[in-house]
Structure 1
Amino acid sequence: MSMKKTLPLAVFTAFATLLSACGGDSSSTAPAPEPNGPSTSSQPPAAPPPTPNTPPQAPQSRDRYSFANGCYTLSSEGLFLQNTAGEAGFQLTDNVSEASAFYMKPTALGSYLLVADYQRDPGSAGVIELLGISDPAGEFLDQGGNFVGEVSYLVSGLGDTLNLVLDPIAPLGGLLRELGESLDGLGGNLGDINVQPSLGKVTKASDLAVWNLNPSDDERFTLTSQVTGLLLTANDDGLTLTSPSLESDNNRFTLTPAAQCASYPEAMLSAQVNEQGPAIYLKEVQRFRNVPGLDNDDIFGYVDAHSHISAYEFIGGRINYGDPFHKFGVDHALHDCAENHGPEGLTGLIEQVTSTPGPHATRGWPDFPYWPRNNSLQHHQSYYKWIERAHLSGLKILVNHLVHNEILCQINPQKQNDCDTMAAIEMQAEQMHRMQDYIDAQSGGPGEGWFRIVTDPSQARDVIADGKMAVILGVEASKALNCGEFLDVAECNREEIVERLDRLYAMDVRSLFPVHKFDNAFGGHLPDLSDGIGIGAVLYGGNLLETGHTVEFEECPEHDHGDTSGPLADTLQPFGIFDQLLFQIDYVGERFPATPEELAEYDPRRGTDHLCNTRGLTDLGFFLIQELTKRGMMIETDHISRKAASQILALTGERGYPVINSHGGWGGTEDLRDQVAAQGGISASFGSVRGDWVDQLTRDGNRPRADEFKVGPFGGAPFASDVNGIANLASNPGTPEQEASLYPFTSVDGRVVFDKQLTGDHAFSLYEGRGVAHYGLYPDQIADMIANSERPEEQVNDAVNQLFTSAEAYIRMWERLEAAVQ
């Protein structure tokens, strides 16, 4: 333990707590956007461009949020902040021509980094200069730049710069100075290390460089150090920090628009948007203008019905590396996976088992030599700027499933988060609201961002009408609501189910999987029938650990995944003990390497494609379905046993309450998926490539459904990315030679021109061997499908129509569901 931790500083802790309470809004802790709005360049530079030479107009709204990603000089009482050369720091000047321009990079709503300079050559991480508080001995920050020291100790180190004259608590000024002096001697004892912080130039983004901007009077603002709660002050003595109780003209600043500002690192949209902006309604798009049956208010756009952008926090929080946002920007969000996966990525166990085994380059920003890539399952692929790029191509609804598996978390040696399911899900829900706040901060204030969490279909329509993307929160957890079972004894009761559902509902969750991967107190799961030693084998063992029993099999009806028209409970008969043992051997055997061809005829394994889980809905499962329908929550039938899925369809079908199959074959048989569509629900398949994607979209869009469930002639076919859900994104067979034939390309609505997406120094292309390496390449994949599917033109057109009517189809499904509650 550091010696400073043992000092009796209770009085200073109380003082610092008082000061910190005077700071601004710091409720959001997260990531960064593109300065000055979306990129309008199809070939943007490696870093955001500087502000144009002509001074920008002052913002019409002078609230504390409106300065986001803008360029300003700061002055108080005729004194301007000036960034001096080298490490000399900042000083004041009364000459406006010597004033420095600061780039205002939001870290949260109302909080900023004051960027005096940023320079980055290709291949380098960049050099930055910020106004902040130094940390000479590295005592106050962790590696991520988060403040971890004692506030009282930090404030005492700043004692010589504090202006506490006439302060009601003025005697503390002397005490702080004395403590600062005593620390000089302590520093000598520790090896002549300077541990005293100072106000001035810092070269790395951290909490010590974050300032809360708060309105004062006459359109002036105060700048409060987020960590110390002290006010930046300009007077004849230079720049100092002052107690907030001494606010005066000397710490009230005027922010004046300036030119030639520094920039800040960010991923680019690599998109040129015309003046109208992306289309909102089908009537705005040429291909839909003469289609009979379409209404003027029908939404143009597509749906990702199944994603996991919050999965960076699941299974303990150190499985996936990378964040969808970070308060200090892209270079922190996508830095180096060695932080989680060790040297050369060798401790990234899932990566070693499921992707290319062996070492890999761990560095992300700025050149991304290895990751992200479509089949790299432990690296984050949904940074918020990449999602925004997809939004520009027509992504109108994103369903983000908060995801967790308690047993996998418990056996995972790499974790930092609570393994309890409810705690994990609630933490992810909170992070999604912080992400919304962070994007709002980049866009100019609360409600201004394009990423909007919605809780009902009317709200979704309003958000989309405003040119933004509707985000729906769902839950996909094996121990849903902490309701597991062990040896058939449920670990929850009805009262707990109601209480936990209410908690999730209050956090804006509107969709839920009753079952996922393991049997639980609600019913049986759909077994993983994938071959080989991989996730299927892990989950099979996990079910045993979680429930105390193996998967209990029976033969599926007709052995062909066919008839599901009646309740499966009436058609399936469980096996005896001896037959169960044989089927367990079959199931486990299929997960291991095939028998050599010359010995194949002697292999006793018979295959498992005809096996079904014996378990349907339990009594608690029926109760859960009733509670979900009472609240108008969406019910996801993927991953649940065929028997339980059939029972859910029978229950909801009687009420006209549609359900969802959000990611392909995990919804069971094609007959089950047809039944979901026939009852007015949504059926989606995984995002794929070229002809295969065309086939999936036309199949899902043309499933049998009544005309009342269609959008004109179209059923609407969402896709499922399953991004960051320990699942591959789509590959692409294209070659580098094909790049010129695709890039640049125009969006389906004709209003956006896309080029290769640029993050740092890496220009991401579908054809570099990584496929859909990250979420921002879905626009490219759609364009590639249209150009290179080798399917008949009529079928390709139908696939595009089905995809881009899926947003309207999804909202109509939600509206029918809501009406069924009333």
Structure 2
Amino acid sequence: MLASLVALMAAAPGAASAGREWWEPVAPQTPDSQVDVVGAPFTGTTAAGEVRGLVDAHTHMFSDEGFGGNVVCGRTFSPHGIADALKDCRAHQPNGNLALIENLTNARQGGNPFASHDTVGWPTFRFWPAYDSFTHQQMYYKWVERAWRGGQRILVNDLVSNSGLCTINGVVNPPNTSSCNDMDAVRREAERTRELEAFVDAQYGGAGKGWFRVVTTPAQARSVVEQGKLAVVLGVEVSEPFGCKQTLTIPACGRAQIDRGLDELKALGVSSMFLCHKFDNALCGVRYDEGTTGVIVNLGQFLTTGTWWNPRTCRPGEVPDHTVAGGVLPKELAVAFPLAVLPVYPAGPHCNPRGLSSLGEYAVRGLVKRHMMVEVDHMSAKAAARTFSILEETRYAGALSSHSWMAEPFMERLYSLGGFATQYGHGTTQFVADWRASKAQRDRFGVGYGFGMDMNGFGGTPPPREGAATSAAGPVVYPFRSADGGSVLSRQRTGERVWDVNVDGVAHYGQVPDWVEDLRLVGGQELVDDLMAGAESYLRTWEEAAAH
């Protein structure tokens, strides 16, 4: 289907239209979302030969393909058009009161597990996308295009799934439309990323001509950024990479399986990865989630491994892995899993006694051998400490902390290696405060800054800035100029809906430039300058890893 559409669009009338700018499509999909940006994307390098641009080191463009294909509603694109792409899950029909994961995680639903919501997407979008809706598509490709036009030049697309959440949703919101195998999801999402590249290319006149460029080396990425396009890097964030789960603490993989898995990921074009995510697996222990999310994730761990998290009270001087809830499950989940009762835990803060296993050490060294970057976020403090020791022994720079899930005491070790860190896409006030708190350290190492929005990742996106209208900084005033100063952005429109960051926060990825403007108002131009230096710093880390 996609191949035939690509051929049709490539041959569409107007493919050689005179007067078209290179950033304007030859054969746009109609109807579609607006971009609402005027001006040429910046190209080239600085006088010092450095690239510029915003970097988002942690997104999930195709999480609708993960988690059994029935958790994130709506697709990043569709050859059949926006009406086909942006529609709610069948399990949410007709009024959303069966959308248990949405209802348990969305504050607007007031904790009511059977709350209702408007399930119509295109063209009205009355309920979603929204900054507090975790189960609806936020990375439609035209919204990503707006972020690129607003100054972003590197996007890390983490291929993602979680077997536990897939299993839970298959019970509470049946049926899943694909398997819960994490590696199957990785393969599907890698394929969809390439399909999107071809889909965009077709709108711009043929292979290689679109703005969405999948890159597999830092040299390719640098060239794409210099051209003014978006360099898309593939990463992996799953709970059971290569099938390396554990069952009753017994590992389900060996070294040969790890080698085969790493080789496959390299062949798929993956350049960075997490060895563990949410669940203790055969490779490493995890840093815990807190609150309701922690309860759901802990249930997922139990369903997939046969064991609950096993935290102990941290000893003096130890780095905590957060404090997790024990006791009984919320009644909404207890109905679906009547025999599952959470264990009783000692007092927090909690430390995970599981670190990096011998198989995990082998996998870290395998990543180094293949010049792939190591994501340290989500590792337990014990696992992260050992990982840094291995990287220090080998003098390997390819260490990443992409969305504020690495314990702060490890930041000095990361920067000393030549690694790169980005902050979670928090609300403006918190993001500015964290930027200020970490600036002196980053300045010592001469590194830029970035963000990890974790879009489509169940973490939430920035809400409207509280009190913006009466604050000294004031609200975002539309139209405004992009981070580089070269383009002008108006309020973003999709169908009948118009979004305003002052009212809606960051409801979808197209509002990332609006959020960056809000950061400028509160943090000043110095913050934006640090963000614009992020692309160069990310590439330097990748280049050092590639040259190792």
- The normalised TM-score by structure 2 is 0.87
1: distance between equivalents of 2:258 and 2:5?
31
> Residue 41 of structure 2 contacts residue 151 of structure 2 at CA under 8 Å; is this kept in 1?
yes
CA distance, structure 1, for counterparts of residue 226 and residue 3 of structure 2: 28
Tell me the residue number matched to 1:551.
Answer: 309
Query: Which of these two proteins has the greater Rg computed from alpha carbons?
Result: 1
Where does residue 55 of structure 2 map in the other structure? 303
Counterparts of residues 33-112 of structure 1 (less than 5 Å): 59=17
Question: 1:406, CA displacement in angstroms?
Answer: 1.4
Partner residue of 1:756 out of 448, 467, 491: 491
Matches within 5 A, 1:758-797: 758-768=493-503, 770-787=504-521, 789=522, 796-797=524-525
Tell me the residue number matched to 2:3: 27
- Name the residue aligned to 1:525: 286
Aligned residue for 2:308, secondary structure, equals coil
Q: State the alpha-carbon separation in 2 of the partners of residues 439 and 521 from structure 1.
A: 39
For 1:617, the aligned partner's letter is L
In structure 2, the residue matched to 1:324 is 76
Does the alignment pair 1:344 with 2:83?
A: no
Unaligned ranges ≥5, structure 1:
1-24, 37-50, 61-65, 71-103, 107-263, 284-294, 565-582, 594-603
Percent sequence identity is 34
1:542-581 alignment to 2 at 5 Å?
Answer: 542-558=300-316, 561=319
Within 5 Å, give how 1:327-726 maps onto structure 2: 327-335=79-87, 337=88, 339-355=90-106, 356-357=108-109, 358-413=115-170, 414=174, 415-528=176-289, 530-531=290-291, 534-558=292-316, 561=319, 587-589=325-327, 607-608=347-348, 610-658=349-397, 659-664=399-404, 666-668=405-407, 670-703=408-441, 707=445, 710=446, 715-726=447-458
Q: Secondary structure at the match of 1:727?
A: coil
Amino acid at match of 1:278: P
Structure 1 residues 140-180: Cα deviation after superposition (integer angstroms, max 9, x where no partner)? xxxxxxxxxxxxxxxxxxxxxxxxxxxxxxxxxxxxxxxxx
- Residue by residue over 1:469-491, the C-alpha shift from the partner in whole angstroms, topping out at 9 and shown as x without a partner, is 11111110111111101122211
Larger strand percent: 1
Give deviations 1:104-154, integer Å, cap 9, x for gaps: 666xxxxxxxxxxxxxxxxxxxxxxxxxxxxxxxxxxxxxxxxxxxxxxxx
Paired letter, 2:169? N
Aligned counterpart, 2:334: none
Deviation at 1:408, TM superposition (A): 2.2
Equivalent residues of 2:45, 2:226 under 8 A apart: no
Task: State the one-letter code of the partner of 2:32.
Answer: E
Is the partner of 1:763 in helix, strand or coil? strand
1:381, 1:700 → 2: CA distance?
29
| Secondary structure at 1:786 match in 2 | helix
Between the aligned partners of 1:409 and 1:57, the Cα distance in structure 2 is 43
Three-state SS of the structure 1 residue aligned to 2:117 is coil
Q: Tell whether the 8 Å contact from 1:372 to 1:379 is kept in structure 2 after alignment.
A: yes
CA RMSD of aligned residues (A): 3.0
Q: Distance in 2 between matches of 1:813 and 1:495?
A: 28
Runs of at least 5 residues in structure 2 that lack an aligned partner in the other structure = 110-114, 332-343
Partner Cα separation in structure 2 for residue 544 and residue 506 of structure 1: 32
Distance (whole Å) between structure 2 residues aligned to residue 484 and residue 304 of structure 1: 29
Return the offset for 1:705.
7.2
Q: Which amino acid counterpart does residue 766 of structure 1 have in structure 2?
A: V
Match for residue 535 of structure 2? 807
Are the equivalent residues in 2 in contact too, given 1:321–1:340 (CA < 8 A)? no
In structure 2, what is the equivalent of residue 182 of structure 1? none
How far, CA to CA, are the matches of 1:702 and 1:389 in structure 2?
32
* Residue aligning to 2:461: 729
Aligned position for 2:42: 279
Which residue identity does 1:265 align to in structure 2?
Answer: P
After TM superposition, the runs of 4+ consecutive aligned structure 1 residues lying more than 6 A away are 590-593, 735-740
Question: In the alignment, is the contact (CA less than 8 A) between 2:35 and 2:142 conserved in 1?
Answer: yes
Q: Which string of whole-angstrom CA distances, capped at 9 and with x for unpartnered residues, describes residues 271-327 of structure 1?
A: 111xxx2223563xxxxxxxxxxx531111111011001101111111111111110
- Return closer, same or farther for 1:458/1:699 CA change in 2, 3 Å cut-off: farther
**1:787-815 Cα shifts (integer Å, max 9, x gaps):** 2x2x5xxxx33322211100000000111
Q: Deviations over 1:725-772 (max 9, x none)?
A: 11100101367978986111111222101010011111111123x310
Give me the whole-angstrom Cα distance separating, in 1, the residues matched to 2:151 and 2:433. Answer: 20
Shift of 1:621: 0.6
Which segment drifts farther, 735-744 or 432-441?
A: 735-744
Give the Cα separation in 2 of the matches to 1:440 and 1:699: 42
Seen in structure 2, the aligned counterparts of structure 1 residues 782 and 473 have a Cα distance that, compared at 3 Å, is: same
User: Take 1:512 and 1:546, find their aligned partners in 2: how far apart are those partners?
Assistant: 21
Determine if the alignment matches structure 1 residue 268 to structure 2 residue 2: no
Letter of the 1:767 partner, please give it.
N
Q: 1:59 to 1:282 in 2, by over 3 A?
A: closer
Alignment size in residue pairs: 516
More helix by share: 2
TM-score by length of 1: 0.59
